[in-house]
C-alpha cells in the first residue's frame, strides 16, 4: 500500500529590517527542548489558528536569530522525497486530539509532538472550558508553549466543542442543555463532532483520547458511590470506546489511536480513588479488544500510554501529585522528573509508520517506575548499597 505524503514547510516573511535566518526546512520531528520562550500577537480566530506575528526576543535556538517573522504551515505536495535517517514523519497526516483545555497537560504535549512531526492538528475541548481555552489562544497566553523545535509555532487548524460523556444529542439531559456553561455551543456530542470533522476535512489519520474525570476521585473506593464510580468509568474509559466507534469510519487505513492510562490500573495507589483505578483498568482491557476489532475491520492500530505523574492542572485535582512525583524521583530507575514532552514524543512514535506493527499495547513512559517491586527509599533498605543519581 502506498501513501501520498504531503510535505509541510514553514513560510517565513520579513516584517522588519532585522536579519532573519531562513526557517523553511521540512516540518519533521526533531524532538528537543532547546527552544524556549516566545511571545506572539493575537490570533485571527478563536477556532481557526492562522498566521501569527512572532516576536522572538526570548527565543533561544542554535542557528536562529530574528526579531519578527510571520509563520504559517504550508503544504508542498511536490516534495515527497524520503528523508535521510529514520525520522518520525507525519507530514500529510491529520490528528484529532480530544481533551485539551490548557497548555500544560499531556494532551497539549502530544499535539505539539505530532505537529513537530508534520501533522495537522484538530482539537476537541470540553464545552465549559472552550471559551477560556479559545480566549487564551487568541490573546497569546499559550504562545510560549506553542513554540516547536524549529522555531515555528504549533498551529491548531480548528477547535471543536466536545463533551465525550454524551454520544448523541438524544443522550443529553435537559439540565445540561439549558446549563449556561453550554450556552452558545452546538454539535458537541461525540457523534456530532465526528460528523463535523468529516464535513470539514473528510478524514483523519490519528485519534488521541486525553481526557478523564472522576467526580469522587479523592474518596477511597469503599466510600465511592455508584454514581461516582459509573461517572468515572463513563468519562474516563467508555468515552474512548465512543470516540473510536464514531471516528473509526472516517479514519484512513493504517491510522493510529492512542489513549492515556496510569499504573493505578494494576497497582494500588492510595488516594487515587472514586473508581478511577477501575476506569484505567477498563481502558487498558478495552485497548486490547479495540485493537483487535479496529485492526481487523479498519486497519487501525490502538495503543495506550501509561504515563508517570505530571504536575498538570488536572493532576493537581487529585491532591497528592507532588508526593507522587517525589516518590518517582526517589524510586524509579531513572531519577528525573518526567516531562510532558517525553510522553508527547512517545505518542508521535506510536502514531508514526515506525510503529506500524505495534497495537494492543500498554507503553510505559514513567522513567521505569512500573518495573519496581518495592520503594527503595524505605528505611528498611538503609543498609543496602542502592545506586543513586547524585545529581538528583
Q: Which residues are catalytic?
A: 237, 280
Strands (E), the chain: 7-14, 39-40, 52-55, 68-76, 94-98, 120-126, 156-162, 204-209, 251-261, 301-307, 362-365
- Residues 6 or more apart whose CB falls under 8 angstroms from that of 199 comprise none
Residues in Cβ contact with 188 at an 8 Å cutoff, skipping those fewer than 6 apart: 127, 160, 161, 162, 163, 166, 182
Rounded Cα gap, residues 169 and 90, in angstroms: 34
Q: What angle do CA 278, 239, 297 make, to 5 degrees?
A: 105
Residue 306 and residue 363 in contact, taking contact as beta carbons nearer than 8 Å = yes
* Chain length of the chain: 392
Cβ-contact 244, 290 below 8 angstroms? yes
Strands 68-76 and 7-14: antiparallel
Bridge-partner residues for 72, per DSSP?
A: 11
* Residue tagged 464510580 (cell numbers): 229
Task: Specify the DSSP element, H or E, that contains 281.
Answer: helix 276-298
Residue in 23, 22, 26 with CA at minimum distance from that of residue 7: 26
Measured CA to CA, the distance from residue 366 to residue 370 in angstroms comes to 7
Helix (H, G, I), strand (E, B) or coil at 7: strand
The closest alpha carbon to 284, from 240, 328, 315, 218, belongs to 240
3-state helix, strand, coil in the chain (%, to 5): 35, 20, 45
Amino acid at each position: 500500500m502506498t501513501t501520498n505524503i504531503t510535505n509541510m514547510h514553514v513560510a517565513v516573511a520579513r516584517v522588519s529590517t532585522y536579519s532573519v535566518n531562513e526557517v523553511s526546512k521540512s516540518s519533521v520531528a526533531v524532538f528537543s527542548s532547546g527552544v524556549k520562550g516566545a511571545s506572539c500577537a493575537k490570533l485571527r480566530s478563536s477556532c481557526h489558528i492562522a498566521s501569527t506575528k512572532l516576536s522572538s526576543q526570548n527565543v533561544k535556538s542554535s542557528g536562529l536569530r530574528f526579531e519578527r517573522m510571520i509563520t504559517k504551515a504550508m503544504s508542498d505536495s511536490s516534495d515527497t522525497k524520503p528523508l535521510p535517517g529514520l525520522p518520525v514523519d507525519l507530514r500529510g497526516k491529520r490528528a484529532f486530539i480530544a481533551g485539551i483545555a490548557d497548555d500544560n497537560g499531556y494532551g497539549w504535549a502530544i499535539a505539539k509532538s505530532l505537529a513537530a512531526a508534520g501533522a495537522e492538528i484538530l482539537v476537541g475541548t470540553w464545552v465549559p472550558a472552550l471559551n477560556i481555552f479559545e480566549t487564551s489562544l487568541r490573546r497569546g497566553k499559550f504562545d510560549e508553549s506553542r513554540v516547536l523545535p524549529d522555531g515555528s509555532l504549533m498551529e491548531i487548524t480548528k477547535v471543536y466543542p466536545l463533551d465525550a460523556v454524551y454520544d448523541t444529542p438524544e443522550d443529553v439531559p435537559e439540565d445540561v442543555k439549558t446549563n449556561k456553561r453550554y450556552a452558545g455551543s452546538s454539535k458537541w456530542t461525540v457523534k456530532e463532532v465526528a460528523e463535523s470533522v468529516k464535513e470539514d476535512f473528510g478524514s483523519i489519520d490519528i485519534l488521541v483520547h486525553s481526557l478523564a474525570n472522576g467526580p469522587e476521585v479523592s474518596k477511597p473506593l469503599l466510600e465511592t458511590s455508584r454514581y461516582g464510580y459509573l461517572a468515572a468509568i463513563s468519562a474516563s474509559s467508555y468515552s474512548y470506546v465512543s470516540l473510536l466507534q464514531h471516528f473509526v469510519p472516517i479514519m484512513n487505513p493504517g491510522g493510529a489511536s492512542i489513549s492515556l492510562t496510569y499504573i493505578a490500573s494494576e497497582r494500588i495507589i492510595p488516594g487515587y480513588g472514586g473508581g478511577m483505578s477501575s476506569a484505567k483498568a477498563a481502558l487498558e482491557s478495552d485497548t486490547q479488544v479495540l485493537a483487535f476489532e479496529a485492526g481487523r475491520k479498519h486497519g487501525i492500530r490502538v495503543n495506550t500510554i501509561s504515563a508517570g505523574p505530571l504536575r498538570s492542572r488536572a493532576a493537581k485535582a487529585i491532591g497528592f501529585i507532588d508526593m507522587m512525583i517525589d516518590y518517582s524521583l526517589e524510586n524509579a530507575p531513572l531519577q528525573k522528573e518526567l516531562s510532558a514532552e517525553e510522553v508527547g514524543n512517545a505518542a508521535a512514535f506510536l502514531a508514526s509508520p515506525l510503529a506500524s506493527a505495534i497495537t494492543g499495547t500498554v507503553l510505559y513512559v514513567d522513567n521505569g517506575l512500573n518495573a519496581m517491586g518495592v520503594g527503595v527509599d524505605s528505611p528498611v533498605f538503609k543498609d543496602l548499597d542502592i545506586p543513586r543519581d547524585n545529581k538528583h
